[in-house]
């Protein structure tokens, strides 16, 4: 089976305030396959968020390649890359980053509207996704009217809106209580199976990592297989 996402020998470092150099990623390689859930674990500060940023083309690596369906995403200019990212990658962060002036339905439909879908088509898919996440009765509510778990479910639905190649999630349940987090984890797992949707999830949560097909540990700038 061909991989959906491949990282080849990815390096990324940053200049420190003292003028030194901090090497965060030191040759990361990774394959993610269709419908696979991959957990990235590791201590705080090891570079999990940096890795997700590289995989999501939110930053360019110093060395190495990021390929989606065999194509190097950085072989395009920034404008084309931004358009590709909207259509091909879903993002879920620890804090939902919903637009406060829009309803749940409008927040979820937004990526498809940016892509150029009709309002009718975008709203129809947004409604379906929110319904699958148990939010049928919350479609017209704004983020301030939703609980933390509901807000994060909206964020997950938004990430799935454009049927992305991969959803990248950075501590998606990190701001939730354990009961709400567990429910969200199970819903993400169900969605992955239903849509054969690939997820790469950076997490400290052992319950979430146990639901994944593979667990990789980021340590000293490299990925190590933790669990099969």
The pLDDT > 90 percentage for the chain reads 46
DSSP string, 188-220: HHHHHHHHT-EEEEE-S-HHHHHTSSEEEEEET
According to the model, what pLDDT value does residue 151 have? 92
- Calculate the average pLDDT of the chain: 88
According to the model, what pLDDT value does residue 180 have? 86
Q: What CA–CA distance (Å, rounded) separates 109 from 47? A: 31
Closest CA to 32 of 71, 78, 1: 1
Q: Contact, 185 vs 205, CB < 8 A?
A: yes
According to the model, what pLDDT value does residue 79 have? 86
Model confidence at 48: pLDDT above 80 = yes
For residues 210-224, average pLDDT: 89
Q: What CA–CA distance (Å, rounded) separates 106 from 157? A: 11
Model confidence at 147: pLDDT above 80 = yes
pLDDT tens digits for range 64-77: 999 998 889 888 88
Q: Contact, 32 vs 38, CB < 8 A?
A: yes
pLDDT tens digits for range 154-209: 999 999 999 999 999 998 887 778 888 888 888 888 889 888 999 999 988 888 88
Question: Who wins on pLDDT, 216 or 178?
Answer: 216
Contacts of 218 (CB under 8 A, 6+ apart): 28, 40, 41, 42, 46, 47, 48, 51, 224
Assign 36 a pLDDT band (cuts: 50, 70, 90): very high
Main-chain phi, psi angles of 176, to 5 degrees:
-110, 155
According to the model, what pLDDT value does residue 1 have? 67
Question: Who wins on pLDDT, 151 or 2?
Answer: 151
Q: What CA–CA distance (Å, rounded) separates 191 from 193? A: 5
Instruction: Name the strand (E) or helix (H) holding 11.
Output: strand 5-15
pLDDT tens digits for range 2-14: 788 999 999 998 8
According to the model, what pLDDT value does residue 87 have? 83
For residues 24-30, average pLDDT: 90
């Amino acid at each position: 089976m061909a991989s959906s996402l491949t990282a080849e020998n990815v390096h990324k470092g940053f200049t420190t305030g003292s003028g030194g150099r901090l090497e965060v990623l030191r040759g990361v390689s990774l394959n993610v396959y269709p419908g696979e859930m991959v957990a990235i674990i590791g201590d705080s500060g090891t570079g999990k968020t940096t890795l997700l940023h590289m995989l999501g083309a939110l930053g360019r690596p110093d060395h190495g390649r990021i390929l989606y369906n065999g194509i190097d995403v950085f072989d395009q200019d920034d404008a084309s890359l931004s358009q590709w990212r909207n259509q091909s990658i879903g993002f879920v962060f620890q804090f939902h980053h919903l637009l406060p002036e829009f309803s749940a339905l409008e927040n979820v439909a937004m990526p498809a509207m940016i892509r150029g879908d009709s309002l009718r088509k975008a709203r129809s898919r947004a409604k379906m996704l929110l319904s699958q996440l148990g939010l049928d009765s919350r479609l017209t509510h704004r983020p301030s009217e939703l609980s933390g778990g509901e807000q994060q479910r909206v964020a997950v639905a938004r990430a799935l809106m454009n049927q992305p190649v991969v959803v990248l999630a950075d501590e998606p349940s990190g701001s939730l209580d354990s009961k709400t987090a567990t429910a969200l984890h199970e819903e993400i797992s169900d969605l992955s199976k239903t849509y054969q949707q690939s997820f790469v999830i950076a997490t400290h949560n052992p319950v979430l990592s146990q639901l994944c097909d593979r667990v990789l540990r980021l340590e000293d700038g490299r990925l190590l297989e933790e669990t099969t």
